[in-house]
Amino acid sequence: MPNPELTKTLMSKVGGIGGFGASESKSVITLTKNTYFPGEKLHVNIDYDGASCKKSVKSFKIKLVRFVHCLSGKKGTGKPCLTHE
């Protein structure tokens, strides 16, 4: 069973023009771990349910956000001095 912290469920509207005529789709996206390093390959599982969609989905695009946290102070009691997204 996948870790619930590494799983995201998305409900989105697919197709249509300006939101009219769009159909509802559901995707469950699961990552294998929560920390990645530059150059490391990412393993993503996408469980897509487009049964109510009129057209099939051709591709998916995934963006990762990098968070950098710097701490100052002694080990275990450090205070955040920089957080960058």
Q: Give the model confidence (pLDDT) of 56-80 as tens digits.
A: 778 888 887 777 767 777 676 666 6
Q: Show me where the domains of the chain are located.
A: 4-60
Higher-pLDDT residue of 6 and 69 is 6
Higher-pLDDT residue of 54 and 25 is 25
Q: Rounded to an integer, what distance in angstroms lies between the CA atom of residue 29 and that of residue 24?
A: 16
Average pLDDT over residues 18-31: 80
3-state secondary structure (DSSP) of residue 5: helix
The reply to whether the predicted model has a pTM over 0.85 is no
